[in-house]
Amino acid sequence: MEEDESKYLRGILKINSIRVRNLPAMDISGLTDPYVVISIGGEKMKTKPAQNTLNADFDDEFIISFDPSKTQDRELKIEVLDHDNIGKDDLIGTTSISILPYLNNKQDVHEDLENEGEKGGLGEIIVNIHYVSNEEQKRIEQEKNEIEKRLKALEEAKNMKGVIKISQIKVRNLPEMDLIEQADPYVMITLGDEKRRTKVMNDNLNAVSDEEIFIPFDPSKTFDRMVKLDVWAYDSTSDDDVFGSVIIPV
């Protein structure tokens, strides 16, 4: 028992996706107006009633503080009742769910309802339970803050002036374009209105340019965020021919 008790940590219980299925008819209409009451350690939460149904989905989401030093409760008590506008609401069924299996472990839980020992035919309740320790909440918050910092840095980088440096440009397995079964490739590089090109690499189907290309980048002056590289075949007697293109985000 002591070992189990040490596993209970201060935190919160998140309860949502509450559903009831196959409830018995409680009204003369052959239907019912169900709602759900969830309680633990003096805390009690209640959904809004559904109307005229034996199968209801509730969009309520409950967050309940849990401190094992202040309550002996280790289970959620769940009651499903039929709302009555005139008399007392009728209890359809209840169940209890131990919270420990859901410590830092979010899961759907399916439970059959019972009433004063009567089981079967009273329907089923389905709830999503997540028992989150304070330590886990801190870890999640730190992780969230770190992601937000990274996204902010990326957003700032999008608007940062700078220079795009392109080097070690290589082309491979180009098709033959000359009578000597070679090609004279070069690369045209475009970003916004800025254009740069490498020198022609003569008689080569697998070429490497040792040039370094620098293109100024000011995101406030262009909407372009992609560098376009066109590989061309130089022709001294007619128009140059394009091999193909590739687009790379900056």
| φ, ψ at 186 (rounded to 5°) | -150, 165
What's the sign of the alpha-carbon dihedral 55, 60, 61, 65? negative
Query: Hey, where are the domains in the chain?
Result: 2-134, 162-249
For all residues of the chain together, what is the average pLDDT? 89
Residue where the block lists tokens 């998140």: 14
Cα–Cα distances (Å) from 192 to 141, 167, 225, in that order, read: 40, 19, 8
Helix (H, G, I), strand (E, B) or coil at 5: helix
At residue 108, the pLDDT reads 95
What's the sign of the alpha-carbon dihedral 230, 233, 236, 237? negative
Token pair for 199: 């020198």
Contact 60, 44 (CB under 8 A): no
Fold for domain 2-134? Immunoglobulin-like (2.60.40)
At residue 28, the pLDDT reads 83
Q: pLDDT tier at 11 (50, 70, 90 boundaries)?
A: very high
Rounded Cα distance, 36 and 93, in Å: 10
The alpha carbon of residue 176 and the mean position of all alpha carbons in its chain are separated, in whole angstroms, by 49
User: Is pLDDT of 1 > 50?
Assistant: no
Same topology, domains 2-134 and 162-249? Answer is yes
Q: pLDDT tier at 193 (50, 70, 90 boundaries)?
A: confident
Percent of the chain exceeding pLDDT 70 equals 98
The 10s digit of each residue's pLDDT in 12-22 is: 999 999 999 99
DSSP one-letter string for 103-158: BT--EEEEEEEEETTEEEEEEEEEEEEEEEEHHHHHHHHHHHHHHHHHHHHHHHHH
The 10s digit of each residue's pLDDT in 107-166 is: 999 999 998 877 778 999 999 999 999 999 999 999 999 999 988 887 777 667 888 899
Q: Look at domain 162-249 and name its CATH class.
A: mainly beta
